[in-house]
Amino acid sequence: MSAPSERYSSVAITLHWVIAIAILGMIFGGWYMSDLPDGAPGQYFLYQMHKSVGITILLLTVARIIWRAMNPPPSLPEDMNGLEKTASHLVHLGFYGLMIALPLTGWLYSSVSIKLDVPTVLYGVVSWPDVPFVEGLKTETASGAVNFIHSKLAWVALALLALHVAGALKHEFSAEEGVLKRMLPGLFGKTSKPATPSRGAVTAFGSALGVLLVVAGASPVLSILSGSGQAVTADAAFAQNWTVNPDASSIRFAGIHDGNAFSGAFSNWDAAIQFDPNAPNDAEVQVTVSTVGAQASQKLYTDSLPAPEWFNSAAFPTANVEILNIASSGDDTYTSTARLTLKDITVDADFPFTLQIDGDQAQMSGQAVFQRTALDLGQSSDPNAAWVSEDITVDVVVEATQSN
Ligand code: HEM
């Protein structure tokens, strides 16, 4: 029996087991989620978790590689034969390659997939951009090839794992005893020699954090550059006699996503109003809504809305609504038609509302329901309304002051 060999540092042991368990979970979780039928409850959440944990593995791998460079691992037992040592090094090298290639191909696939054209928000909190400059790969063939590589690498990882476990067990229980113990946490590994003092935690984990901040930081910078902050004004060819009080007014939307209710609001809009309660049918109302500043109840939805398949805010920064055919139905209630133009598509919806006028102050509240597929919303990732409900309810509250 040879002398007990030196242990790995506790940071190396922690990184090893956290990443190993995460990768195994990702492989079985990845198979499970991609076998679910489209729109299965929770599938959307599983995809977001898969992407979040996968990016976490990538960042931990950055830390792990830097840690390893600064804290070389204990050498293999001297009595291990040369061939076994080479095989062991090759398997470890293969794992490092996979720890980078698996997340990178996953990230690339989710950036170019036509079917899964959905933003990534890590753990529902941090926006993670798509891989830049890969527009050219957004074809069925190229994205299919990336998906193929991503899924086959999982099998390579399992094959390497089999070799790795066999090697670890052999060298734990055979003549060169104790190889596995060096990588076991705490009590389990007690019999091996203590690790040499380690260094570089700040550099290793600081670099991983730096990568997170730089890549995730690119999203808000890009949206500021695209001009999300410009206030819109409703241009009207008619004389306006009411001015909207924006602080007391809102346009909110609501629907169902993956079985859960969601809601949101357009924060940047303006309305031009010409309205006489004695002649409602002569009224003119034009509303201009910025599609850029829509805020939803979850960050994932807020990030999704400006994307090409939803509002396509880069090409269509505003949507317009005209309120037509206003008719009184008694007791401060009215019927009307809301004509919405979004992405060059125009649809009409019933827009009943209540209106109370007190002196020069008016309070209005109304609701319309739009069918999102008719507006070409979400038609590449969810054409059959499997995840996002077909009906989107829009609630409008307006407080206005009469100006003349
Ligand atoms: C170590 C990290 C990762 C592992 C082990 C892993 C593993 C897997 C596996 C086994 C599948 C199922 C493939 C199949 O259908 O046969 C899968 C699918 C997928 N992965 Fe990963 N993955 C990792 C990281 C990532 C990352 C970082 C992302 C994106 C940011 C990602 C995005 C995806 C997507 C979108 C699918 C679904 C493919 C589909 O349904 O068509 N993966 N992954």
Tens of pLDDT, residue by residue over 99-129, are 999 999 999 999 999 888 788 999 989 999 9
Instruction: Render pLDDT for 76-106 as a digit per residue (tens, 0 to 9).
Output: 877 778 898 899 999 999 999 999 999 999 9
How much distance in Å is there from the Cα of 183 to the middle of ligand 1? 27
How many residues does the structure list for the chain? 404
d(CA 64, CA 20): 12
Type and span of the H or E element at 223: helix 201-225
Q: What is the mean pLDDT of residues 15-37?
A: 97
**pLDDT score of 221:** 59
Q: Centre a 10 Å sphere on the Cβ of residue 21 and count the other Cβ atoms it contains.
A: 10
- In testing the pocket of ligand 1, which one of 18, 98, 127, 151 has its CB within 8 Å of the most ligand atoms? 151
Verify whether ligand 1 is closer than 6 Å to residue 107 (CB atom): yes
Does pLDDT of 328 surpass 80?
A: yes
**pLDDT score of 176:** 57
Q: If you average pLDDT over every residue of the chain, what do you get?
A: 89
Q: Which atom of ligand 1 is nearest to the CA of 34?
A: 40
Give the three-class secondary structure for 288: strand
DSSP assignment, residue 44?
A: H
**pLDDT score of 159:** 97
Q: Which residues contact 202 (CB under 8 A, 6 or more apart)?
A: none
Verify whether ligand 1 is closer than 6 Å to residue 34 (CB atom): yes
Does pLDDT of 223 surpass 60?
A: no
Look at strands 250-257 and 391-402 and give their pairing.
Answer: antiparallel
Please indicate whether residue 367 or residue 173 has the higher confidence score (pLDDT): 367
**pLDDT score of 99:** 98
Instruction: Render pLDDT for 277-317 as a digit per residue (tens, 0 to 9).
Output: 999 999 999 999 999 878 898 888 888 888 888 898 888 99
**For residue 1, what pLDDT band results from cuts at 50, 70 and 90?**
very low
d(CA 295, CA 121): 15
CA 42 to chain centre: 15
Does pLDDT of 371 surpass 90?
A: yes
Q: Which amino acid is at 343?
A: K
d(CA 112, CA 311): 19
Rounded to a whole number of angstroms, the CA Rg of the chain reads 29
Does pLDDT of 352 surpass 90?
A: yes
Please indicate whether residue 225 or residue 321 has the higher confidence score (pLDDT): 321
Does pLDDT of 145 surpass 70?
A: yes
Q: Which atom of ligand 1 is nearest to the CA of 27?
A: 10
**For residue 341, what pLDDT band results from cuts at 50, 70 and 90?**
very high
> Is 134 within 8 Å of 108 (Cβ atoms)?
yes
**pLDDT score of 16:** 97
Q: What is the mean pLDDT of residues 339-362?
A: 96
CA 117 to chain centre: 10
Structure tokens at 250: 């809102």
d(CA 65, CA 102): 16
d(CA 150, CA 104): 9
Domains of the chain and CATH, by start: 10-224 (1.20.950), 242-402 (2.40.128.110)
Q: Which residues contact 211 (CB under 8 A, 6 or more apart)?
A: 59, 62
Instruction: Render pLDDT for 224-252 as a digit per residue (tens, 0 to 9).
Output: 555 455 788 887 889 899 999 999 999 99
d(CA 281, CA 131): 52
**For residue 203, what pLDDT band results from cuts at 50, 70 and 90?**
very high
Verify whether ligand 1 is closer than 6 Å to residue 54 (CB atom): yes
**pLDDT score of 4:** 56
Nearest to 274 by CA among 260, 286, 262, 291: 286
Q: Which residues contact 92 (CB under 8 A, 6 or more apart)?
A: none
Q: Centre a 10 Å sphere on the Cβ of residue 119 and count the other Cβ atoms it contains.
A: 21
**pLDDT score of 196:** 79
Verify whether ligand 1 is closer than 6 Å to residue 19 (CB atom): no
**pLDDT score of 105:** 98
Nearest to 117 by CA among 373, 380, 384: 380
- In testing the pocket of ligand 1, which one of 26, 28, 211 has its CB within 8 Å of the most ligand atoms? 26
